[in-house]
Amino acid sequence: MGMHVGGGDGGEDEVVSAINTTPLVDVMLVLLIIFLITIPVATHTVKLSLPKDLSQPTKTQVSNIVVAVTSDGHVWWNQTALHGQEELESQLEKVAVLKPQPQIQIRGDAAVKYETVGRIVAACQQAGIYHVDFITEKPKDN
């Protein structure tokens, strides 16, 4: 296999079919140097003292109100079923004016949509409830 380089005519420029890889290698080396310089800067994080987990069991008091949400989205006020968001909001407005304000404990089924629980939290916020807790179960140790 041979290739004819250079012409005997000398008049016209001939097409060279060889690929010049020098610019490609230069660009790749520059990119490699840029990445080597910027990776340590990108992985640097701000030093913070994060809060420690102080998860403690909730102390059940008589004044606490339990809002339960079943997996199908039905909302319960203590042991009474609520019929609609308006009824929940009116109940929350009634207890928001009490002094001291009762604690609202939300017990959501694991299969319930976040949207339903989010509406309850938003209703608590809108009514002016200051203390809202989520009741969960401790994971089983295997």
Domain 65-134, CATH among 3.30.420.270, 3.40.50.300, 3.20.20.450, 1.10.630.10: 3.30.420.270
Spatial neighbors of 3 by CB under 8 A, at least 6 apart, are 17
pLDDT at 142 over 60: no
Give the span between the Cα atoms of 117 and 110, in whole angstroms: 11
Residue 81: beta bridge partners? 76
pTM attached to this predicted model: 0.57
* C-alpha to C-alpha distance for 81 and 92, rounded to whole angstroms: 14
Q: What is the pLDDT of residues 37-73, one digit of tens each?
A: 887 766 656 666 665 655 666 666 667 888 999 888 8
Q: Look at residue 42 in the predicted model and tell me its pLDDT.
A: 65
pLDDT tens, position by position, 17-40: 788 888 899 999 999 998 888 877
Residue 109 has a pLDDT of 86
Cβ atoms of 88 and 117 closer than 8 Å: no
Domain regions of the chain by residue span:
65-134
